[in-house]
Chains A and B, each alone.
Chain A
Amino acid sequence: MNRLRQQVVCFWLQLKILLFSPFEGFLAVVFPLMFATAALLVYQVNGDPAAMLYAGIGAAAMGIWTSQTVSATTLVQRERRAGTLELVVAAPTPFSLVLLPITFAMATIGLYSVVATILWDRWLFDIALHVANWPLFVLSILMATVTIALFGFLLSVTAVRYRTSWALGAALEYPGWLLCGFVVPLDLLPAVLRPLSWALAPTWAVEGMRAAAAGESPWSDLAICGAVGLVYAALAAWLGVRLITAARRDATLALT
């Protein structure tokens, strides 16, 4: 019970930190809308309403991916610059449980981008979101948010030893849009890249969103999405212990 309280309190305080940053707040508000605009302008050329809906849903998930991958890989560097990284590592709480509420706070910002993008689609491009099964559609969005947060969690743990870890987030951002099939159908990608797409939980979450919108069953997509997310969490917890030990051995925690 105390652990749950700890996670909730830490989540709330980390969310406060994120919300109080005017610059990051501006980026979080504007970036998803700009990406969605660019994608929808491309699709608008064909004048196909089904394709616009496809792109509209994908663009909504794109915002979470962008906010999560970039911010998760800069998370540790942010703590390092603030001088708090050593303090949180020296705390009796396992490091993975320090990072988990921070990544969920970031995912909450990402969740905003889904809602904002859907409203933006409606207002600017007149895309009416015809969703056959709203509860499952919302569940799919939440699954996308949680599993992208877990992916961010894995990234932030992996990046703990490296001061240039932010570059990893920047490098993953745009390939992720393609590999997860947010705005381009996976069938158009080379077959050799398919396993990479399957290993990314958002691929399944966005498939679930589209299935729920079309009135099909999203359960198999969501089940795989959840399973892949759990693998991320387990891998991050396992790596967390080993990478922190390696950072203590190689003196890389305090690198500024």
Chain B
Amino acid sequence: MPLTERPAVEARDLRRTFRTKQGVLRPTRKTVEAVKGVSFEIAPGELFGLLGPNGAGKTTTIKMLITLLIPTSGSASVLGHDVVADVREVRRRIGYVFGGDRGLYERLSGLDNLRYFSELYGVPPREQKARIGSLLELVGLTGREGERVEGYSRGMRQRLHIARGLLHDPDVFFLDEPSIGIDPVGARELRATIAGLREQGKTVLLTTHYMFEADELCDRIAVIRSGEIVAEGTPGELKGLVSAGRVLEVETYGVADGVVETSRTLGGVRSVVVEDRGQVQVLVVSCEPGAEVTQAVLGQLGDTRVGRVSHRDPTLEDAYVELVTR
């Protein structure tokens, strides 16, 4: 999407290579190209999603943008400040939150954690008390701030993380899978908090595995696969990539080895994945418009016990699956 104003975040042909060494006496060196020329722009106030499977390069891209990793080549800037040359200026203006249990001092209370990071992030002493109070209110931890973090639930920790990331009122916010491992109620509250950030005019880069989350929150999405961006657009545009087709779902009780691979070779089939849903495994087959593949797919299943067979319209998740399994 061409932007008329200066982008809040800009990545230009970003690349990052990791070198690993194994063995002492006869060391073997391996080079892994985690990010292979990623380019995108995020407009001020935009909520931009970066989607991709594990190991696709999402976190590496974020870490380059927040100055924790130096790009092997390419360039990136945040609010016009280069992430390699103007490290301190970038750090002053960004907030970073990642998912999971870590990133807090367990033996300190929630309040002391916020006080500590307020000092490190340069929140003026006079503003600290009011700022911490309002953030605790925002993330729903008022009244629990005096308790040690080691007693917090995962959802409470994640909300404390959000408060920590917002302490210095950053203009750009990086959220790396913030809802991972949170229960549905906690995840809903978190989504409401993230939506609130956009309403405040913050620029947000969000990575997530949950398609409904990206669909609900993001203005634009980039799908990253094996270190490269394979599609970019609004959630509607991405759905449009597969909306001309249909999705066949076949409930099975144990898919035999090789069925997915052979089904992918059938005419009219775009992608095939298996999803575990409780007791059953569901074969999700994305089809070309007009293609009738039901009998052919059932034929591939052989003696496998089959349950319900249904068709539906594609979702953002189908678009995502097709993009990352091509």
Residues of A within 8 A of B (CB): 2, 5-6, 9-10, 13, 16-17, 20-21, 82-84, 86-93, 98, 245, 248-251, 253-254
Is there an interface contact between B91 and A91, defined as CB atoms closer than 8 Å? yes
Question: Can you list 5 A-B contacts (CB < 8 A)?
Answer: A2-B124, A82-B102, A83-B100, A83-B102, A91-B91
Q: Is B103 an interface residue (CB 8 A)?
A: yes
Q: For the complex, is B69 an interface residue (Cβ under 8 Å from A)?
A: yes
Give Cα A17 to B68, complex, Å. Answer: 26
Question: Contacts A5-B125, A245-B70, A253-B68 given: A20-B107 contact, CB under 8 Å?
Answer: yes
Rounded to whole Å, the gap between the CB of B131 and the closest CB of chain A is: 15
User: Which of A84, A90, A249, A254 is packed against the most chain B CB atoms within 10 Å?
Assistant: A90
* Contact present for A92 and B88 (CB under 8 Å): yes
Q: Is the CB of A91 within 8 A of B125?
A: no
Beta-carbon contact of A92 and B105 below 8 Å: no
**Residue B209 is within 8 A (CB to CB) of chain A in the complex:** no
Q: In the assembled complex, which residues on chain B have CB atoms less than 8 Å from the CB atom of A6?
A: 119-120
- Inter-subunit contact B91/A2 (CB<8 Å): no
Chain B: interface size category: 20 to 34
Would you list which residues of chain B between 111 and 125 have a CB under 8 Å from chain A? 112, 115-117, 119-122, 124-125
Minimum C-beta distance from A6 to chain B (A): 4
Residue of A nearest to B174 (CB): A90
- A84: chain B residues within 8 A (beta carbon): 102-105
User: Most A CB atoms within 10 A — which of B19, B69, B103, B120?
Assistant: B120
CB neighbours of B120 from chain A (8 A): 6, 10, 88, 91-93, 98
Chain A residues near B66 (CB-CB < 8 A): 90
With contacts A2-B125, A82-B102, A92-B121 taken as known, whether A16 is within 8 angstroms of B68 at the C-beta atoms is no
What CA separation (Å) do A13 and B116 show in the bound complex? 7
A90 contacts B108, C-beta separation under 8 Å: no
| Closest Cβ–Cβ distance, residue B213 to chain A (whole Å) | 22
Contact indicator B106/A90 (Cβ below 8 Å): no
A255: shortest Cβ distance to chain B, in Å?
11
Is B243 engaged at the interface, CB distance under 8 Å to the other chain? no
Cβ of B320 under 8 Å from chain A: no
On chain B, the residues within 8 Å of A10 by CB distance are: 116, 119-120
**8 A-B pairs with the lowest CB-CB distances in the bound complex, closest first:** A83-B102, A91-B120, A83-B103, A20-B107, A6-B119, A92-B91, A93-B120, A249-B70
Taken together as a complex, chains A and B put the C-alpha atoms of A88 and B113 apart, in Å, by 12
Taken together as a complex, chains A and B put the C-alpha atoms of A92 and B116 apart, in Å, by 13
CB distance from A172 to the nearest CB of B (A): 23
- Given A17-B108, A82-B104; A87-B125 close (CB under 8 Å): no
7 new A-B contacts, CB < 8 A, other than A13-B115, A92-B91, are A5-B119, A13-B116, A83-B100, A83-B103, A90-B66, A91-B117, A245-B70
Whether B91 pairs with A9 at a CB distance below 8 angstroms is no
Q: Is the CB of A13 within 8 A of B91?
A: no
What's the count of A-B pairs with C-beta under 8 Å?
83
Residues of B within 8 A of A91 (CB): 91, 117, 120-121
The answer to whether B6 has its CB under 8 Å from any CB of chain A is no
Nearest-CB residue, chain B, relative to A17: B107
Chain A interface mostly: helix
Among B112, B122, B148, point to the contact of A13 (Cβ < 8 A). B112
Q: Within 8 Å CB of B104, what residues of A?
A: 82-84
A248–B112 alpha-carbon span in the complex (Å): 28
Query: Nearest-CB distance from B132 to chain A (Å)?
Result: 13
Which of B18, B69, B96, B108 is within 8 Å of A248, CB to CB? Answer: B69
B96 touches which of A16, A90, A93, A251 (Cβ 8 Å): A90
- How many angstroms from the CA of A245 to the CA of B102 in the assembled complex? 23
Q: A16-B112, A82-B106, A251-B18 are in contact. Are A9 and B121 (CB under 8 A)?
A: no
Q: Which residues of chain A are near B125, meaning CB under 8 Å?
A: 2, 5
Smallest distance from the beta carbon of B184 to chain A beta carbons, Å?
Answer: 24
State in angstroms the CA–CA spacing of A90 and B172 once bound together: 14
CA distance A251 to B318 in the complex (A): 34
In the assembled complex, the Cα of A16 lies from the Cα of B107 at a distance in Å of: 8
Nearest A residue to B148 by beta-carbon distance?
A20
Judge if B92 is at the interface, Cβ distance under 8 Å: yes
Q: Is B234 an interface residue (CB 8 A)?
A: no
**B contact residues around A88 at 8 Å (CB):** 120
Residue B67 CB within 8 A of the other chain: yes
Tell me the complex Cα distance, A90–B102, Å.
15
A69 to B148, CA, bound (A): 28
Question: Which residues in chain B, 133-176, are within 8 Å of chain A measured between CB atoms?
Answer: 148, 164
Q: Taking CB as reference atom, which chain B residue is nearest A97?
A: B120
Indicate if the CB atoms of A248 and B68 lie closer than 8 Å: yes
Measured in the bound complex, the distance between the Cα atoms of B125 and A5 in whole Å is 9
Listed residue (B96, B106, B108, B119) with the most chain A CB atoms within 10 angstroms of its CB: B119
Closest to A81 in B: B102
Contacts known (A13-B108, A82-B103, A82-B104); A248 close to B92, Cβ less than 8 A: no
> In the bound complex, do residue A248 and residue B88 qualify as a contact, i.e. CB atoms below 8 Å apart?
no
Query: In whole angstroms, how far apart are the Cα atoms of A17 and B104 in the complex?
Result: 12
| Residues in A whose Cβ lies below 8 Å from that of B115 | 9, 13
Q: Is the CB of A87 within 8 A of B96?
A: yes
Q: Give the chain A neighbours of B18 by CB distance below 8 A.
A: 251
Complex Cα gap A250–B20 (Å): 10
